[in-house]
Amino acid sequence: MKISTVIELTEATLVCGGDKTELMVERAFSSDLMSDVLTLDTEGLLLITGLANIQTIRTAEMADIHYILFVRNKKVTPEMAELAGENHMVLLATPFSLFKTSGILYKHGLKPVY
């Protein structure tokens, strides 16, 4: 699924990484637990999370995750956006809940990790 389709389906705003919206994600993982995210071994992953802090971006950096979708319009701080930019990430924010976001994307063909 293209990032632009993720944006469209979840009515998301693009926080950073606007030059990468035509890139594809194959799978998604929804979690607020970064410890769990660090156990994943999946390429081309979209992380859907309600946890918006600098460690969310750090975790993605270490786990080679390039796409993060924050739910419930969680605020991305300038420090988070800067770190994401340094690591060439795409950050998105949707007003939808974690459950609704995951449901919509799953229904439209985005695959789960497990």
Residues lying near other proteins in the complex (CB under 8 A): 32-39, 51, 53-56, 58-59, 61-64, 79
Nearest residue (CB) to other proteins, 39 versus 109: 39
Number of H helices, E strands in the chain: 5, 6
Least distance CB 44 / other proteins (angstroms)? 13
Nearest residue (CB) to other proteins, 35 versus 107: 35
Least distance CB 37 / other proteins (angstroms)? 8
List, in sequence order, every beta strand (DSSP E) within 1-114. 13-16, 27-30, 45-49, 67-70, 90-93, 111-112
Q: Contact 24/44 with Cβ under 8 angstroms?
A: yes
Nearest residue (CB) to other proteins, 40 versus 104: 40
Least distance CB 58 / other proteins (angstroms)? 4
Type of residue numbered 8: E
Q: Locate 87 and state its tokens.
A: 């690591």
Nearest residue (CB) to other proteins, 24 versus 54: 54
Least distance CB 82 / other proteins (angstroms)? 12
Residue 108 phi/psi, 5° resolution? Answer: -90, 10
